[in-house]
Amino acid sequence: AKETGRDSLKLFSSEMAEKTRQKLAGTEDMRRALRENEFLLHFQPQLNQRSAKIVGVEALVRWQYPTRGLISPAEFIPLAEDSGLIVLLGRWVLREACRQCRRWLADAEPGFRVSVNVSARQFKERTIVADVEAALSDAGLSPQNLELEITESLIMQDLPLAIELMNELAAMGVTLSIDDFGTGYSSLAALKRFPVSKLKIDKSFIADIPRDADSMALTSAIITIARSLGLQIVAEGVETEAQVKFLLESGCDHIQGYLVSRPLPPAELSMFINGSTSD
Ligand code: C2E
Ligand code: CA
Ligand code: CA
Ligand code: CA
């Protein structure tokens, strides 16, 4: 038994070493990709249900890997967060999203916004405020045209720091929204303490509509309370007409999902934005 124990320990530590090696290689690869400009942004429209107008787009990063094709963020964001490279990648995303938004403004509805996902690391290392300022001034974009998507778990990791930085960002005029709402631990009551003006209801709730009565009850309760707190609501992951009908009846402001459009490269989305204003 002693022998087995030692062997499995050996196996365990060699597995750990292999994992560490892979992480280092992955991190190095990502550094190279940043230098060689292999990251790109796709944009997914957010639609105002009542006016049927595009009110904004969410920027979603992808990795155009030379030999492996387009890689999804689910595959590399965790490593980027782990290694700290998310700070550099997040800076690039902010800059690129603001630049692209600036190009769309002439054709877009007034108040059009680009929304950008933010990682906990960008808060923890306190780079977010300076990065947002730089991206806006670099692109010549007004803070009113930028929204930051922040998850509940980011906020809860270090509540005082999150509130301090969110206040700074809100004071600049940037819109803050809570992403994946309903999956974390913050209560609706806690939202009153945050300078956020928007909630994105997580797509796991939307996916269960209309099949699951509990998800429907939760969704409409979230919408009712959020509205009474003066928050705007976006439903993400909307895929069916039945979901749209329910959300509209529940008073949801904006929808985002495959039913309206998948995330698209900027050139394809441009037509969407022009198309929606020309009629
Ligand atoms: P998220 O912020 O919750 O983004 C929404 C995800 O849902 C996107 O996946 C989007 O393509 C997908 N989606 C949109 N509509 C539908 C729908 O109707 N049905 C379903 N099933 N899915 C839909 P994506 O692009 O693969 O991004 C995954 C996650 O990666 C994002 O989740 C976000 O957490 C993270 N991410 C993406 N870009 C960035 C970034 O620039 N910075 C950071 N920190 N994270 C990012
Ligand atoms: Ca998001
Ligand atoms: Ca989300
Ligand atoms: Ca998510």
> Closest residue (by CA) to atom 8 of ligand 1?
60
What are the backbone angles phi and psi of residue 136, rounded to the nearest 5°? -65, -50
> Closest residue (by CA) to atom 42 of ligand 1?
117
CA-CA distance, 203 to 24, in Å (whole number)?
A: 33
CA-CA distance, 123 to 158, in Å (whole number)?
A: 9
Taking ligand 2, which is a single-atom ion, which protein residues have CB atoms under 5 Å away? Answer: 117, 149, 179
Cα of 195 vs centre of ligand 2, distance in Å, is: 18
Please name the amino acid found at residue 123: F
Residue identified by tokens 């904006």 is 254
Half-sphere exposure of 39 (CA within 13 A, CB side): 26
Instruction: Name the residue among 253, 258, 257, 242 with its Cα closest to residue 210.
Output: 242
Residues having CB within 6 Å of any atom of ligand 1 = 44, 60-61, 72-74, 77, 86, 90, 93, 117, 119, 179-180, 203, 236-239, 257-258, 263
Ligand 1 probe mutation, 206, 236, 269, most atoms within 8 A of CB? 236
Both tokens of residue 58?
Answer: 């969410």
pTM, entire model: 0.93
pLDDT per residue of the chain (279 residues) written in tens, 0 to 9: 555 667 777 777 888 888 888 888 889 999 999 999 999 999 999 999 888 899 999 999 999 999 999 999 999 999 999 999 999 999 999 999 999 999 999 899 889 999 999 999 999 999 999 999 999 999 999 999 999 999 988 998 999 999 999 999 999 999 999 999 988 766 777 787 899 999 999 999 999 999 999 999 999 999 998 999 999 999 999 999 999 999 999 999 999 999 999 999 999 998 878 754 443
